[in-house]
Structure 1
Amino acid sequence: MKLIAQIKLLPTPEQAQALRKTLEVANAACNYISEQAWESQTFKQFPIHKLTYYAVKEMFGLTAQVVVRCISKVADAYKLDRKVKRTFKPHGAIAFDDRILTCKLDRMELSLWTVEGRQKMSFACGKRQLELLKGQHGESDLCLVKGKFYLMVVCEVETPKPIDVEGVLGVDLGLVQIAATSDGGGFSGAAIEDNRRKFGHRRSNLQKKQTKSATRKLKKISGVQSRFQKTTNHRISKILVQIAYDTHRAIALEELGGIREAPVKGRKQRARHANWSFYQLRQYIVYKAERVGVPVIFVDPRNTSRTCPECGCVDKANRKSQSVFLCTACNFSGNADRVAAVNIAVRAEVNLPMVSNLRVQGQSPLL
């Protein structure tokens, strides 16, 4: 499997200027390539290469491999759709490959191409990133984030064999309960909602002031809310995968694709629903589970919170409120989120994957 290692570059002021100029020239080249592609309605990589390669190389003074990476960036941008001409910000990320980037882990040093020539500079990263870098494979993106340069390095990590599962841990994703399990456990979304309201209110007040100090404050708090949610999702996904690993179970999740298209009533509910980062949590669960060999199964979410796990009665009236489930047929009652998680687990058990009989022993690599 592939993971991304984020490392921080430590350039000198002169090297930082060279990196900044490299981003600007490369993205200017991308804008030129995009304009030519749009005018000729040529959107695939090889036809764009044939159309623009020599002109870009001569006009912008880029090396052959950087031009190839710029063409690839434009072609990738048009893969989503071809209805709008793509433009690129001056300091947008650009990709480097092994021909224009080399990394020396023993010296914590790397060498990469810039418009000012090849530059050698130090970098900083944590132990986990350093371990990942041993499997460096493919492209690395150079990013400028709040005045700091980072490299997002693609790394290949060995995927273990799936463990021998003996059941399924159902997980219901939601807003009030970010994740509820079929075991009866749950993770409240109150902290995320409070954080969203606090920073939403703060941003609104600062935007109304329209002063320089307010603008500086807005920049300072930029990303704080999203980083809090990201950390929370990492923590929850780690706990869920650890539970499944320790109990030798697969993880069952709902397939929530298209849920954003459903109409939501009320301005406050729309804001809360738009802030729901269920897909990010799902991604974290999937990749953490894959790293320790825990299978992840996706099931149809329809009526999971309206189906009685005891008698199988499906009725909208079974869901009395957000948190209360009461079956109209057999009077079974319980927490609605847990009932949904149990139903998810039951549906997934029908589709348990065929895995090795060799059970993985020892402590999980997540810890």
Structure 2
Amino acid sequence: MKIVTQVKLMPEAGQAAALRSTLRTVNEAACWVSVVAFERGVPREYELRKHTYGELKARGLGAQAAQHVIKKTCDAYTALKANLRAGSLGKPGSKRRVRVAAKPIVFRPEAAQPYDDRCLSWQYDAGTVSIWTTAGRLRNVRFACSPDALKMLREHRKGESDLIERDGVFYLIAVLDIPEPEAYEPAGFVGVDLGIVNIATTSTGYRAAGRGLNRHRKRQLALRKKLQAKGTKSAKRLLKKRSRKEARHTANVNHSISKTIVTTAERTGHGIALEDLTGIRGRVRLRKDQRTSLHSWSFQQLGQYIEYKAKRAGVPLVYVDPAYTSRQCSECGHIDRKNRVDQATFACRACGFLSHADDNASHNLARKGETVWTAGRESRVPATP
């Protein structure tokens, strides 16, 4: 199982200048490689290397850095093709899709640059790294991280690390290859209903209210509008300072919720049943004043956090079809649109069962999770002699 951990670099003034210059140089070179790839119809990596490797070396890049620049460009075009194929950039013929596909990919000056073990080495005891730059090899560049992160790096770091610059601060994003425990046989499933009013509701009775997070988002949105309307230099500085604050807060909330859900499932010997909400933003039609809430809804991030935490703990996890889970009675199975009285209330028209709508949906998801798990298991029936 592969996860990443972030390490903050604390270079001296000269080291910081060399790292900054290196990022600018490699990303400028990546933009040039992108133009060559676009003009030649995005050839495969080996063919693109024949057209660009010599020029990259002439620009002062080392052999490994040049290879990583070429590979980074190819990976960017692969991701673009996947997004076009999935319709993430609009329907065929739409203005956005045509605009994106009609020009080469451009890399930001501070975009991430991959480093392998030939370009980057770690000295865990000393808390330093040795890293390649266009100005030569930098040694004894200090880094800072938590004791747990350092332990994980020492025991499980494997593969490439990405150097990035964010708001003038340098970070290394290291890949960790952690052994994945074998999933146990679950005694049942915890259904997890995801939403905006309630971020997550489980069939065990846990409910993570979204009131605080939604209030935080509205406050940040109002402040951004106010500063953008003001338009002064100090307002722009404050906007830059506050960038990604909402995203960091949301990620922290999702980490806490996912940890609670996975810990509960592990303690009780249950699995986790999650809704498969792929493409929901394209399917749902809302009023204009509701679209901000829908597009700020970080259900995918929460699902990813639950998934990787479940894998690390050996907790079985399945994705289920959420169709009709909010309209179906978890007691008698009757499905009726009128069962959902309002956002919070579920009242079955057949048996009279009354419950919170999210609680009812979570129990339906738990039942679906058991069905999916049973259908996916190998048969335990003895073979016919």
Q: Structure 2-normalised TM-score?
A: 0.90
Query: Aligned-residue CA RMSD in angstroms?
Result: 1.3
> 2:192 and 2:201 mapped to 1: Cα distance?
6
Of residues 295, 304, 307 in structure 2, which corresponds to 1:286?
307
2:195 counterpart of 1:174: yes
Task: Indicate the SS of the match to 2:366.
Answer: helix
Task: Indicate the SS of the match to 2:80.
Answer: coil
Report the Cα offset of residue 5 of structure 1: 1.4
Indicate conservation of the 8 Å contact 2:110/2:166, yes or no: no
> 1:2 and 1:132 mapped to 2: Cα distance?
12
Indicate conservation of the 8 Å contact 2:129/2:143, yes or no: yes
2:36 counterpart of 1:36: yes
Indicate conservation of the 8 Å contact 1:43/1:78, yes or no: no
Corresponding position of 2:241: 220
Report the Cα offset of residue 145 of structure 1: 0.8
Counterpart amino acid of 2:212?
A
Corresponding position of 1:143: 164
Corresponding position of 1:328: 349
Q: What is the correspondence of 1:104-183 to structure 2 with a 5 Å cutoff? A: 104-120=123-139, 121-134=141-154, 135-183=156-204
Residues 200-258 of structure 1, C-alpha deviations (whole Å, 9 max, x = no match): 00000110011011112112221111111110000000000000000000000010001
Report the Cα offset of residue 97 of structure 1: 0.4
Task: Indicate the SS of the match to 2:165.
Answer: strand
Corresponding position of 1:211: 232
> 1:232 and 1:343 mapped to 2: Cα distance?
25
Indicate conservation of the 8 Å contact 1:5/1:155, yes or no: yes
> 1:331 and 1:50 mapped to 2: Cα distance?
72
Report the Cα offset of residue 354 of structure 1: 4.9
Corresponding position of 1:52: 52
> 2:303 and 2:71 mapped to 1: Cα distance?
29
Residues 113-168 of structure 1, C-alpha deviations (whole Å, 9 max, x = no match): 00110001111110121022121111100010111100000011111121232110
Task: Indicate the SS of the match to 2:173.
Answer: strand
Q: What is the correspondence of 1:11-30 to structure 2 with a 5 Å cutoff? A: 11-30=11-30
> 1:271 and 1:66 mapped to 2: Cα distance?
41
Residues 281-300 of structure 1, C-alpha deviations (whole Å, 9 max, x = no match): 00100111111100111100
2:58 counterpart of 1:66: no
Report the Cα offset of residue 107 of structure 1: 1.2
Of residues 81, 99, 106 in structure 1, which corresponds to 2:118?
99
> 1:128 and 1:285 mapped to 2: Cα distance?
20
Counterpart amino acid of 2:54?
Y
Indicate conservation of the 8 Å contact 2:320/2:365, yes or no: yes
Task: Indicate the SS of the match to 2:163.
Answer: strand
Corresponding position of 1:269: 290
> 1:51 and 1:338 mapped to 2: Cα distance?
59
Of residues 350, 360, 364 in structure 1, which corresponds to 2:371?
350
Counterpart amino acid of 1:202?
L
> 2:254 and 2:109 mapped to 1: Cα distance?
32
Corresponding position of 1:243: 264
Q: Structure 1-normalised TM-score?
A: 0.94
Report the Cα offset of residue 44 of structure 1: 2.4
Report the Cα offset of residue 265 of structure 1: 2.2
Q: Count matched residues.
A: 354
> 2:124 and 2:13 mapped to 1: Cα distance?
23
Residue segments in structure 2 that go unaligned for 5+ positions in a row: 82-100, 379-385
Of residues 268, 273, 277 in structure 2, which corresponds to 1:252?
273
Counterpart amino acid of 1:79?
T
Report the Cα offset of residue 328 of structure 1: 1.2
> 2:193 and 2:216 mapped to 1: Cα distance?
22
Task: Indicate the SS of the match to 1:78.
Answer: helix
Runs of 4+ aligned structure 1 residues displaced above 6 Å come to none
> 2:349 and 2:238 mapped to 1: Cα distance?
54
